[in-house]
Amino acid sequence: MSKLLWKSLVISPAILGVTLAVSAVSVRAAEEATLRTADSTTPTEAIQVSEATDVQIPAEVAINPAQVSEMSSQPEAIAPSLAESATDSTLAQAAPVEPSNAEILDQINRYNREGQTNQGQVNSINQLRDVSPGDWAYEALRSLVERYNCIVGYPDGTYRGNRALTRYEFAAGLNACLNQIERLIVTGGTGTEDLETLRRLIQEFEAELATLGARVDNLEGRVAFLEDHQFSTTTKLAGEAIFALTDEFGTGIDNNTVFQDRVRLTLNTSFTGEDRLVTRLSAGNAQQFNGVGFEGTQTFNINGGSEDNDVLVDWLAYYFPFGSSKVYVAAFGGIHSDYAPTLNPYFEDYDGGNGALSAFASESPIYRIGGGAGAAVSLGVGPLESILGPSTLTLGYLAGSDAADPSQKNGLFDGDYAALAQLNFNLFDRIGIGATYVHGYHNSGTNIFDIGGANGVVGTTLANNPGRGTTPVVTNSYGIEAAFRLSEKISISGYGAYTDGILIDEGDAEIWTYGAGIAFSDLGREGNILGIFGGAQPYAGSIDTAGGDDVRIDKVPYHIEAFYKYQLSDNISVTPGVIWLINPNQIDDEDDAIIGTLRTTFTF
């Protein structure tokens, strides 16, 4: 097709210019006529008028420039719109009204007379009394009249540029221009210098044009090959690989230096352009350090797989819009931070490899209460949005890892679960605030700050299981999260949470946690992040039992962390960091633990 285009330009470039100019004028006139018709008639009448003038463009399918701009940024949204238009039976069955034989003969005679240069011919655009310099097609008309002398006006000295153009008129006007160009070529009149210039330029750039044509042909072949061999028309692959060199010092337990890994392959599938099906495969060999427990959990320790890097599906979820709301459905491996804003910028990467080193610094532990399979919805809050700006109300329910087990004390509603409600709003475009409530039920032996009953990820052993592994626990947790953007590159964030644990038939427990941090983005280079975070991991403030076995906790397990993510390239980052754990496990006289890590993250 590209070779044919170049040959057409060589043979008669002027013909192409004339055709485009006349077509542009006709299309513009047709659009304006249709819009005027739509303002004064019903949709059905507008279609009939268009048919009578042989311009079949109903007002309903006109697209304004703002819509075109929006759709161009979302190409997936264009196809459904076109499909809907194509299936409109009214439009699909519309047919032009056939004129009578007498009307056809009259039109042919009239347009034939208009095509003669001695009938209404104008030599200057000033002779057209309804054309002014402010008209959008003024320059195009002036060129055709004064340079090529091929525009035929009406006998009353008008051009009637706002009237719809019929196919007969288009044929007559084009024929007149072509005849005039042929005469110019033969006689060497005005306008031939343009043709000579174009021919000379084409000859001078013949090699470049040939090269360009070959490149276009090559690109067409490559596109065809990719379309034939693409992985999927609906799915994109995203990957992350983590190499971590890490060691622990200070606990008195002889932990060795280890080199661990974690790999994730995520298949993101969209069927409508607005939804997303997430299928994530994971493998890894990362393990927690001895003597530190849940408090030393780093992000690459979470659901990493087995010691032999066995591959497993660790997350399967679907996001889709429902009206103005957003819906989340998790079949496996869901956590509350998948759908609820955590307000912890630069630290949060949930359990990925581009944020903080530890799970505790990544987000509030309240989002780690329960997890597995379930659903959630995020709604806009109109009254708050009108006062404070973007505000959302998020509601979610996640059953535990045994949601697929039909036996007693398992399943979707009879086993572990956690239900969340969260309200988020903004203040002054710099402060974000979230208020969170989570109600949960945890079978005996299940950790509270957990992921689907598989791995306790934050907190002391007493906080994760105040029932000593034999008593089911009901929890009501209340949290507050806040983020403050001090400047474009400095952010402060923090959270606090309190959990009231009811030990069924035994007593109750109080669990506390809090933390805050400051992050400096683009420090030294774009993409770099320096983060400092500190707080208290979930700990049992008190445990009261019916038998008088009361426990008062004086030791608070503090967590202090610093890391610096250095962005080597768009796809590789290196993060050295240190984690200092004070009073680990809330045990008296327990030595502090210091964990040093050098994490390298590859994303693709």
The CA-atom distances, in angstroms, between 63 and each of 4, 34, 44, 60, 564 are 31, 13, 18, 8, 49
The per-residue pLDDT for range 151-186, each reduced to its tens digit, is 767 777 788 888 887 888 888 878 888 887 777 777
* Residue 572 to residue 240: CA distance in whole angstroms: 10
Between the two ends of the chain, the Cα-to-Cα distance in Å is: 36
Question: Looking at the structure, do residues 183 and 328 belong to the same domain, yes or no?
Answer: no
| More confident site: 117 or 400 | 400
Question: Which pLDDT score, from 0 to 100, does residue 591 have?
Answer: 85
- In this predicted structure, the answer to whether residue 536 has a pLDDT above a threshold of 60 is yes
Average pLDDT over residues 479-498: 96
| More confident site: 329 or 84 | 329
Question: pLDDT grade, residue 490 (50/70/90)?
Answer: very high
In a domain, 331, yes or no: yes
| Main-chain dihedrals φ then ψ at residue 269, nearest 5 degrees | -115, 135
Question: Looking at the structure, do residues 170 and 250 belong to the same domain, yes or no?
Answer: no
Q: Is the dihedral of CA 468, 471, 477, 481 positive or negative?
A: positive
| More confident site: 61 or 171 | 171
Quote the percentage of the chain above a pLDDT of 70.
73
In a domain, 447, yes or no: yes
3-state secondary structure of 385: helix
The per-residue pLDDT for range 94-140, each reduced to its tens digit, is 344 455 555 555 555 554 444 443 444 567 777 888 888 888 888 88
Question: pLDDT grade, residue 305 (50/70/90)?
Answer: low
* Residue 297 to residue 329: CA distance in whole angstroms: 27
- CATH of residue 370's domain is 2.40.160.10
Question: Which pLDDT score, from 0 to 100, does residue 176 have?
Answer: 80
Average pLDDT over residues 1-30: 40
Question: Looking at the structure, do residues 38 and 137 belong to the same domain, yes or no?
Answer: yes
| More confident site: 84 or 192 | 192
DSSP 8-state assignment for residue 555: -
CB burial of 133-151 (b: ≥16 within 10 Å; e: otherwise) equals eebebeebbbbbbeebbbb
287 contacts 307 by C-beta, under 8 angstroms = yes
Question: Looking at the structure, do residues 408 and 368 belong to the same domain, yes or no?
Answer: yes
Q: Which of 69-83, 128-142, 388-402, 495-509 has the highest mean pLDDT?
A: 495-509
Which of 59-68, 204-213, 500-509, 535-544 bottoms out in mean pLDDT, i.e. has the lowest?
Answer: 59-68
| More confident site: 62 or 145 | 145
Question: Which pLDDT score, from 0 to 100, does residue 551 have?
Answer: 66
76 contacts 273 by C-beta, under 8 angstroms = yes
**H helix or E strand, kind and range, residue 372:** strand 372-380
568 contacts 527 by C-beta, under 8 angstroms = no
Question: Looking at the structure, do residues 301 and 419 belong to the same domain, yes or no?
Answer: yes
Question: Looking at the structure, do residues 13 and 101 belong to the same domain, yes or no?
Answer: yes
In a domain, 87, yes or no: no
Question: Which pLDDT score, from 0 to 100, does residue 469 have?
Answer: 80
The per-residue pLDDT for range 403-434, each reduced to its tens digit, is 999 998 889 999 999 999 999 988 888 899 99
Tokens of 435: 């208020």
Question: Looking at the structure, do residues 199 and 302 belong to the same domain, yes or no?
Answer: no
- Which residue range is the domain that position 184 belongs to? 2-58+94-209
Last residue of a domain, one of 144, 174, 209: 209
Comparing C-alpha atoms, which of 552, 562, 535, 550 is closest to residue 458? 535
The per-residue pLDDT for range 500-531, each reduced to its tens digit, is 999 998 899 999 999 999 999 999 999 999 99
Question: Looking at the structure, do residues 377 and 304 belong to the same domain, yes or no?
Answer: yes
In a domain, 225, yes or no: no
511 contacts 464 by C-beta, under 8 angstroms = no
In a domain, 154, yes or no: yes
In a domain, 77, yes or no: no
Question: Which pLDDT score, from 0 to 100, does residue 555 have?
Answer: 86
* Residue 415 to residue 412: CA distance in whole angstroms: 7
Question: Looking at the structure, do residues 190 and 245 belong to the same domain, yes or no?
Answer: no
Question: Looking at the structure, do residues 167 and 309 belong to the same domain, yes or no?
Answer: no
Structural domains in the chain (count): 2
Question: Looking at the structure, do residues 43 and 154 belong to the same domain, yes or no?
Answer: yes
Question: Looking at the structure, do residues 205 and 348 belong to the same domain, yes or no?
Answer: no
Question: Which pLDDT score, from 0 to 100, does residue 114 have?
Answer: 45
- In this predicted structure, the answer to whether residue 566 has a pLDDT above a threshold of 50 is yes
| More confident site: 81 or 461 | 461
Q: What pTM was estimated for this model as a whole?
A: 0.66
Continuous H helices in 159-205: 167-187, 192-204
Tokens of 371: 């997890």
| Mean pLDDT of the chain, nearest integer | 78
In a domain, 582, yes or no: yes
In a domain, 74, yes or no: no
